[in-house]
Structure 1
Amino acid sequence: MHIVSAPVVSVRHAAVAYGGRTVLRDVSLSVAPGAVVALLGANGSGKSTLIRTLLRLVPLAGGEIDLFGVPQQRFRQWARIGYVPQRVGVTGGVPATVGEVVASGRLARRGVLRPPRAADREAVRAALADVDLADRIGDPVATLSGGQQQRVLIARALAGQPDLLVLDEATAGVDAASQEAFAQTLGRFAGRGGTVLLVAHELGPLQPLIDTAVVVHEGRIAHSGAVPEPAGHHADPGHDHVHPHAEEPVGGLCVAPTDRMAAN
């Protein structure tokens, strides 16, 4: 008997409003296990709001969301989701080493009151190796570059061994070397069967990993499918931004993994 896995993310006719202003309207999206999905769109289009709504950081005004087949309001297995927010201070001003920051990503798995065990320490080492920072485990985070600090945040999410990795503009403003390292990290995560949902303004080295691009325009899903080709001045040499704005309404979509996983 063929068993069909439930979508990792299922959004049905979602609406979100801030202060009486509608930010998302009638958004439907289904992300299958193992898919790598990019949410694209202009600043203010609603793509980051959609991510935060999935994580219950922003309340729904209408519609429904399921996570791993469970209605969002009843979902409790948050350790299955690793989240990397838009660039923020890695330590919140508190001195900490790279290893300490990454170890905080294990709290959802082991609980706050339980001391770290061998499995926790191994998960931290593996996550840092995944972002090519294993040799910096004992260094103060403040001594790292901005791109390296962002990779520490990604390692913190990976240390929790999530099934779904959610990233909000994780590569914005980081150097080219860190973008390449980030792409390799995501490729390995996806190759192990992980699901990725990321917000991006430009894809750069991430583009070959993307199964489906979803364009959010003025609070609605305007496109789903292949990454749209740049047009106009965006197609000029040296301009690698991917942020299409033309609206092409679709009612809903289902995003599934490609043969990329089989190749890994």
Structure 2
Amino acid sequence: MSVVTVSHAAVSYAGRAVLQDIDLDVQPGQVVAILGANGSGKSTLIRSVLGLVPLEAGTVTLFGTPQRRFRQWARIGYVPQRMGAGSGVPATVGEVVASGRLARRGIFRPSGAADREAVRTALTDVGLLDRIADPVSTLSGGQQQRTLIARALAGRPDLLILDEPTAGVDAASQDAFAEALRRFAQAGGTIMLVAHELGPIEPLIDKAVVVHHGRIAYEGAVPEPAGHHAEPGHDHVHPHAEAERARICVAPTDRMPAN
């Protein structure tokens, strides 16, 4: 049974087509990267999978259940595009990560030993256990993003969905992300992630999907860079080799949100 199935999906904003006739299948245990330039529709694709963006046409199925009837949201961990995990919130790292257990245990049940263990394990996975009692506001941007990933991992999901998890964060945090995702995948977890550049995550990717002008332009192994993108020192993922005719360039930017 597929973890995620998208069939003939279409999404429009204010009458403008953002996704058109999207078909996608994610199998259990796969690590799938959604690549594409800003405005290509890649983030809209995963938001539509989560039901955060309504479909104009087509269907989404999660773990064999049509999305409109799906209720087992604890099976899905979601890390949105980078945001300040401690923006105006006087919470510790441990408290933020513990909030990821709510979908699993319910709002009205008190936390127990299993919840505390899950929080500590998740923080260990992202290399932040030593900061468990620190205010989130004292962390760097990369460490705050690692805290959000730990929050998703603490819920012990079967599917982890991440939107630009490494955008604008330091190399140490990128390495920590890659190691946490590797352990999650080795334990049988399924991962969908949106990225401009893969960096240390690239060896984990089983399938790359390139979104271009709202359509899937390529699906397969991570495309090899071509032309000047293949020169030494140019380490970003640019899926030109297989889809050159589409003139796709997946280039990093921290100034504009991906769509």
CA displacement 1:77-105 (0-9 Å, x = unmatched)? 00000000000120341111000000000
Match in the other structure for 1:232: 227
Quick one: distance in 2 between partners of 1:239 and 1:173?
Answer: 17
Residues 1-264 of structure 1: pairs in structure 2 closer than 5 A: 6-244=1-239, 246=243
The residue type paired with residue 240 of structure 1 is D
Please identify, of 139-148 and 239-248, the stretch whose mean Cα deviation from structure 2 is larger: 239-248
Q: Is the 8 A contact 1:14 1:64 kept in 2?
A: yes
Deviation at 1:63, TM superposition (A): 0.4
Deviation at 1:137, TM superposition (A): 0.5
What is the number of equivalent residue pairs in this alignment? 244
CA displacement 1:219-244 (0-9 Å, x = unmatched)? 01111111111122322222211133
SS in 2 for 1:39: strand
Quick one: distance in 2 between partners of 1:222 and 1:8?
Answer: 22
Deviation at 1:247, TM superposition (A): 6.4
Quick one: distance in 2 between partners of 1:101 and 1:139?
Answer: 11
SS in 1 for 2:86: coil
The residue type paired with residue 207 of structure 1 is E
Q: Is the 8 A contact 1:223 1:248 kept in 2?
A: no
Deviation at 1:15, TM superposition (A): 0.3
Quick one: distance in 2 between partners of 1:193 and 1:148?
Answer: 25
Q: Is the 8 A contact 1:86 1:170 kept in 2?
A: yes
Identity of aligned residues (%): 76
Quick one: distance in 1 between partners of 2:35 and 2:20?
Answer: 16
Alignment gaps of 5+ in structure 1: 1-5, 250-264
SS in 1 for 2:209: strand
Quick one: distance in 1 between partners of 2:25 and 2:108?
Answer: 36
Quick one: distance in 2 between partners of 1:247 and 1:154?
Answer: 34
Alignment gaps of 5+ in structure 2: 247-259
CA displacement 1:144-188 (0-9 Å, x = unmatched)? 111111100000000000000000000000111111111010000
Q: Is the 8 A contact 2:33 2:192 kept in 1?
A: yes
SS in 2 for 1:188: helix
SS in 1 for 2:47: helix
CA displacement 1:22-46 (0-9 Å, x = unmatched)? 0000000010000000000111100
The residue type paired with residue 16 of structure 1 is V
Quick one: distance in 2 between partners of 1:139 and 1:96?
Answer: 8
The residue type paired with residue 122 of structure 1 is E
TM-score (norm: length of structure 1) = 0.90
Deviation at 1:116, TM superposition (A): 0.6
